């Protein structure tokens, strides 16, 4: 019968057997799957595992710190954090097209990851022969059930890893569904902030700024997003909604009146949705008082924002994200 304890024991034994005295690396995205996969492999092979986290500067408030501090504290994992914020900002300068942004972010991510990987491999010690992936059962089914050599699906992490990677894969979650992964993560001692995390797109806030991505706009959106998350959590709504993208319409301005004067600022869009699997979604009927609180706080506390609007579109026709 299925228990998280038996899954962990079984996987730990299998990973030890598979890796022997070699080394493994794992890219952390900040999401649940890669975190639980890493924690499981860490339990099995300890310091033979190195995790890589690419900070592209498109994360939400507190997320990088969460990986750096909470995840390391909970697992004792060896972590290499690469600060690539400047690099991503530079690559994204002047770009407004959504697909173009996604391509750039995916490309830069791969370059930074490969570089970090090469540095780890160049270190002394036994060879790095294994790459840990947080592939889940639904991913395996979708891709036709092929076993893992080095063909990595593009929907993992940001835009996928290079297809010619010469690693053997370790995929300890490939028989599990998301809720089971969360249970395993909990059993492994990961904090709720990681285990219960709602979905967040790999390209991060880069695809939640309609218009060009700049440092200033990212900071502004980070503030608005943090307020929305804080209030949703305070209202006890985190488990009721699938996720709530907060979007900055950077190319739109509207007239407002704030304090003693007229303003000409940007709108923030709230996009709370309920969903089973993100393939379809409905807009969440959030309580008006919670929406009011979020709206008041964002317009009071976030510079250059004078309007908050609610997205009441289902998927289809609207996607969950705006880009
Ligand atoms: P859409 O916007 O297509 O999103 O309705 C469906 C779900 O996927 C997430 N999403 C992504 N996740 N990389 C990811 O890892 C991506 O590039 C990406 N784009 C969208 C989105 O947040 C939603 O949960």
Give residue 270's pLDDT: 99
Regarding pTM above 0.80, the answer is yes
33 and 129 assigned to the same domain: yes
Distance 300 CA to ligand 1 centre (A): 30
Residue 33 lies in a domain: yes
How high is the mean pLDDT in each 10-residue block of the chain (323 residues)? 90 97 93 96 96 96 92 94 97 98 95 89 82 91 56 41 74 95 96 92 97 98 98 96 98 95 97 95 98 98 98 98 98
Residue 319 lies in a domain: no
**Which residue from 26, 11, 9, 30 is spatially nearest to 77, judged by alpha carbons?**
26
Residue 158 lies in a domain: yes
178 and 271 assigned to the same domain: no
Domain boundary among 165, 195, 225: 195
For residue 202 and ligand 1, the question of a CB distance below 6 A is answered with yes
127 annotated ligand binder: no
Residue 323 lies in a domain: no
188 and 271 assigned to the same domain: no
For residue 321 and ligand 1, the question of a CB distance below 6 A is answered with yes
315's CB contacts (< 8 A; 6+ apart) are: 273, 275, 280, 281, 282
150 and 229 assigned to the same domain: no
Range of the domain at 257: 208-310
10 and 127 assigned to the same domain: yes
CA angle 106, 110, 115 (to 5 degrees): 150
For residue 201 and ligand 1, the question of a CB distance below 6 A is answered with yes
80 and 174 assigned to the same domain: yes
Return the structure tokens found at 37: 């996969």
Residue 201 lies in a domain: no
For residue 199 and ligand 1, the question of a CB distance below 6 A is answered with yes
Give residue 75's pLDDT: 93
Is the CB of residue 320 less than 8 Å from the CB of residue 278?
Answer: yes
With the most atoms of ligand 1 within 8 angstroms of its CB, the residue from 313, 320, 322, 323 to mutate is: 320
228 and 99 assigned to the same domain: no
168 and 214 assigned to the same domain: no
Q: Name the residue with the closest Cα to ligand 1, atom 24.
A: 199
Report the distance separating Cα 193 and Cα 211, nearest Å. Answer: 30
30 annotated ligand binder: yes
- The residue behind tokens 């969440």 is 284
142 and 64 assigned to the same domain: yes
Residue 322 lies in a domain: no
How many folded domains does the chain comprise? 2
33 annotated ligand binder: yes
Residue 300 lies in a domain: yes
Which atom of ligand 1 is closest in space to residue 281's alpha carbon?
Answer: 5
Q: Name the residue with the closest Cα to ligand 1, atom 3.
A: 319
CATH number at residue 228: 3.30.300.10
Distance 118 CA to ligand 1 centre (A): 29
38 and 187 assigned to the same domain: yes
Domain boundary among 195, 222, 257: 195
**How deeply is 1 buried, as exposed, middle or buried, from its count of CB atoms within 10 A (0-12, 13-18, 19+)?**
exposed
With the most atoms of ligand 1 within 8 angstroms of its CB, the residue from 278, 284, 316 to mutate is: 278
Q: Please give the ipTM for the structure prediction.
A: 0.99
Residue 11 lies in a domain: yes
Domain boundary among 139, 169, 195: 195
Residues paired with 267 in a beta bridge: 307
37 and 69 assigned to the same domain: yes
160 and 43 assigned to the same domain: yes
């Amino acid at each position: 019968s299925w228990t998280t304890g038996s899954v962990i024991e079984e996987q730990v034994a299998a990973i030890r057997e598979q890796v022997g005295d070699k080394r493994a690396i794992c890219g952390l995205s900040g999401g649940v799957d890669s975190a639980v996969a890493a924690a499981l492999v860490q339990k099995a092979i300890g310091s033979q595992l190195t995790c890589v986290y690419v900070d592209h500067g498109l994360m939400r408030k507190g997320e990088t710190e969460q990986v750096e501090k909470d995840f390391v504290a909970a697992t004792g994992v060896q972590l290499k954090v690469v600060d690539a914020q400047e690099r991503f900002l530079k690559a994204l300068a002047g770009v407004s097209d959504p697909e173009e942004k996604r391509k750039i972010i995916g490309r830069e991510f791969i370059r930074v990851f490969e570089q970090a990987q090469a540095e780890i491999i160049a270190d002394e010690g036994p060879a790095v022969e294994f790459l840990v992936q947080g592939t889940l059962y639904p991913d395996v089914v979708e891709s036709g059930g092929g076993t893992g050599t080095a063909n990595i699906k593009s929907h993992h992490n940001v835009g996928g890893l290079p297809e010619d990677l010469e690693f053997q894969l370790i995929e300890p979650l490939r028989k599990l569904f998301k809720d089971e992964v969360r249970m395993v993560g909990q059993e492994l001692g990961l904090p709720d902030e990681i285990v219960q995390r709602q979905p967040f797109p790999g390209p991060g806030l880069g695809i939640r700024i309609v218009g060009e991505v700049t440092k200033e706009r990212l900071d502004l959106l980070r503030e608005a997003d943090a307020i929305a998350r804080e209030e949703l959590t305070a209202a006890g709504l985190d488990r009721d909604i699938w996720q709530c993208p907060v979007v900055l319409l950077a190319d739109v301005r509207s007239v407002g009146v704030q304090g003693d004067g007229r303003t000409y600022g940007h709108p923030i869009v709230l996009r709370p949705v309920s969903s089973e699997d993100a393939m379809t979604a409905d807009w969440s009927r959030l309580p008006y008082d919670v929406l009011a609180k979020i709206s008041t706080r964002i317009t009071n506390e976030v510079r250059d924002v004078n309007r908050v609007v609610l997205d009441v579109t289902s998927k289809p026709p609207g996607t969950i994200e705006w880009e």
